[in-house]
Structure 1
Amino acid sequence: MSRADLAKSNFMKGYNCSQAVLLAFADLAHLDEETALKISSSFGGGMGRMREVCGTVSGIFMAAGMIFYDAGAPAAKEKSNQYAIVQELARRFKEKNGSIICRELLSGVHTDSTPVAEARTEGYYKKRPCADLCYDAAEILEDYLRERSVIGE
């Protein structure tokens, strides 16, 4: 199963979008499942359901940070070029989906930004693109990791 398929499956199991994606890369990020779920728990729904940066995008940013950041290096931020990585991943996601902003991605779907998540019903899954966005985000990071020879084909 690809990491993209795994991210989509995680979302369909009830994890929020950010959790679904980060969890798909937890092994590469050297995170146990519980830690990955805790770290990403606040980023669903565009950061706490505020409909800002899509949680799937936040998930791949967190995974990339854990995979590429070299905390032992002087000026590690510059050495690992985290900002360039984030900007490239965001560019790819935006190119594929038109935006990295949750409310824009959910345009046409009735949503709100209350702090109470909607029940995960069959209707919920039918009207939202979130499961597919989990797939897209994870596929983008998976492709990027292959290009950088972090993972094989």
Structure 2
Amino acid sequence: MSEFSEKMGMAAGNNFKSGYNCCEAIVQTFRKEAGVNIDDNAFRLCSGFGGGIGHARDLCGAMAGCVMVISTLAGRNQPSDKPLAEIYPLTLEFHERFAKEFGSCACGDLMPYEFNTREHLKNCLKLVNKVAQLLAVYLEEKELLK
């Protein structure tokens, strides 16, 4: 683990503790600590992803936040900018790493506790910290942070 990844993990945990949901905590961390250019309007897109999309326990919100960060760094504004074949492998590879590390990308598998309980908050705090570290390592490996 690098110093950068540890810093990102701690910051994401602190963001989660301060009231951001899992997706918001990841994105806010990389906005503020790593300079990823996501404006306030785009940041609002994160709000509905907590709890596996509005407590549906579907796609992990932290994972969704990671895809948002990767897409911001490697994505496109127009179809003519670059082909999706250059972007999808990055998000697919991260998805595979996430699933290998945590056993699933589904909130319901990762978080077996009732929402807003002490157990839920403790579990998600730990997960958000580790997910931010995993993303930081990935972004460094792929040289996506400039």
2:3 equivalent in structure 1: none
| Matched pairs, number | 139
Amino acid at match of 2:71: G
Offset of 1:93 from its aligned partner?
A: 1.2
Note the residue ranges of structure 2 that are not aligned, 5 or more in a row: 1-5
Matched, 1:133 2:127: yes
1:30 equivalent in structure 2: 37
Within 2, Cα distance between the matches of 1:144 and 1:127?
25
Query: Structure 1 residues 145 and 99, CA, compared in 2 at 3 Å: closer, same or farther?
Result: same
Instruction: String of CA shifts for 1:33-81, please: whole Å, max 9, x gaps.
Output: x3354120010000111110000000000111111113357262436x2
Note the residue ranges of structure 1 that are not aligned, 5 or more in a row: 112-117
Runs of 4+ in 1 over 6 A off after TM superposition: none
Identical counterparts, % of pairs:
27
For the aligned residue pairs, the C-alpha RMSD in angstroms reads 2.3
1:94 equivalent in structure 2: 99
Offset of 1:94 from its aligned partner?
A: 1.2
Larger Rg: 1
* TM-score (ref. length: structure 1): 0.79
Offset of 1:98 from its aligned partner?
A: 0.8
2:75 equivalent in structure 1: 69
Q: Higher helix share goes to which structure?
A: 2
Q: Which residue of 4, 8, 27 maps to 1:3? A: 8
Within 2, Cα distance between the matches of 1:66 and 1:130?
24
Matched, 1:54 2:60: yes
Offset of 1:95 from its aligned partner?
A: 1.2
